[in-house]
Amino acid sequence: MTAQHIINSLEFARKSLEIRDTIAHSDLQRAKDLLKQETESLNWRLTGEIGLDKKARLHLIVTGNVAVPCQRCLEPMMMALDIKSEFILVNDESEIPPEEDDVEDHDYLIAEAEMDLLQLVEDEILLALPYAPKHEINDCAVKAEVNELKAPNPFAVLRDFKVVKS
C-alpha cells in the first residue's frame, strides 16, 4: 500500500520540505482503469519553496513507464512519463490572476491545511496521458491493410496515348 500523504501545503513550501515516494498502478484510483497491468511503479517527488517573488510554490516531478492501451490493437503500449509541474499557492480564487493577465500561464493551487498529495500526483498523471495512443504501424498487432497502394494497372497507361491522325 502506498502511504497516504497529507500535507499543509503552505507550511510545506515555507519550510522548503521535500517528499519522495512511488505509487503503484494498483494504488491509482482514477487512472487505474485507463492503464494496463504492465504499468510500472511511478516515482514522484514534491518540493516546496518560497520564490524570490515571495510566492509559495510546489514543484512536482513524476517519472516512470506506463502502459496505455493502443487504440488500434488494444495491446499495451509503453510510454515514459516525465512530468514536471509547478504550482503557485494562493489563499483563495480571488488571488488567481485572470488568464489574459497571466502571460506565463502558471498553474495555481489553493492552499490547504490538509492537502492530499496522491490526488495531485494522480491529477498530473491523468493530464499527461495521451488521448488516443497508437503504436507505430510496424509495431502494432493490427497491421495496416497490406499495401493500399497496388501496382499500377498496365492498361491505365494506354489511356494516356493519344491517337494522332496523320
Smallest distance, Å, CB 67 to Zn ion?
12
| Radius of gyration of the chain measured on its C-alpha atoms | 26
Question: Dihedral of CA 119/63/28/33: which sign?
Answer: positive
Q: Quick one: 66 or 118, whose CB is closer to Zn ion? A: 66
Segment near Zn ion (CB under 5 A); pick from 54-62, 120-128, 133-141, 158-166: 133-141
Q: What is d(CA 20, CA 26) in angstroms, rounded to the nearest whole number?
A: 18
Q: Does 36 bind Zn ion (CB under 5 A)?
A: no
Grid cell of 98 as nine digits: 485572470
Please answer whether residues 111 and 10 qualify as being in contact, where contact means their C-beta atoms are separated by less than 8 angstroms.
Answer: yes
Site string for Zn ion, 47-86 (x = CB under 5 A): -----------------------x-xx-------------
Q: Quick one: 18 or 139, whose CB is closer to Zn ion? A: 139
Residue entry with cell 492537502 = 115
Q: Which residues bind Zn ion (CB under 5 A)?
A: 70, 72-73, 135, 140
